[in-house]
Copies of this chain bind each other. A is one copy, B any other.
Amino acid sequence: MKLSGGVEWAVHCCVALTGVTEPVPAATLARLNDVSMTYLAKQMQSLARAGLVHSVQGKAGGYVLARPADSISVLDIVLAIEGTEPQFTCTEVRQRGPLAASPEQCLQACAVHRAMLAAEQAWRASLRGVSVADLVATVDRDSGPDVLSRVRGWLASPTP
């Protein structure tokens, strides 16, 4: 029940990518956050595979957000990195053992399964309600708009 560490990096990168028009290479994003270049590249690949960012190859290549920031939710990023399979897998304990229930008695999910499913739905709904644009607005409100503008400027011409 632990989130992959790459999720944090991916979300931060999506926030940093807002407002930039030219592609940003993974190496630049890695230097910005001071993290492993190759590993962050892997996370960006996952984002590209999920269609959240658009990757352009070549000399001036890199990553750009594929959609407006207000249409990319944090849930999209988490699912892109972690995978879309649910966190709880019901093994149908009911149908095992000496008091096994018949399959026609198990047409609907068991009570335990439903409780877990409801909790995961709540979790997903909370993450779905926060978009990358919301995060940008929050950062601007908390720390001032110059923080993210400085990030965008650095991404445009990074220091080697």
Contact = CB atoms under 8 A, between A and B. Distances in A.
Interface of A: 1-5, 7-9, 11-12, 15, 31-35, 74, 78, 82-83, 85, 87-91, 93, 96-101, 105, 108, 110-112, 114-116, 118-127, 130, 134-135, 138-139, 142-143, 147, 150-151, 154, 158-159
A38 to B, nearest CB: 17
Contacts of A112: 8, 11-12, 15, 74, 135
A93 B12 contact: yes
A36 to B, nearest CB: 12
A87 B2 contact: yes
Contacts of A78: 1
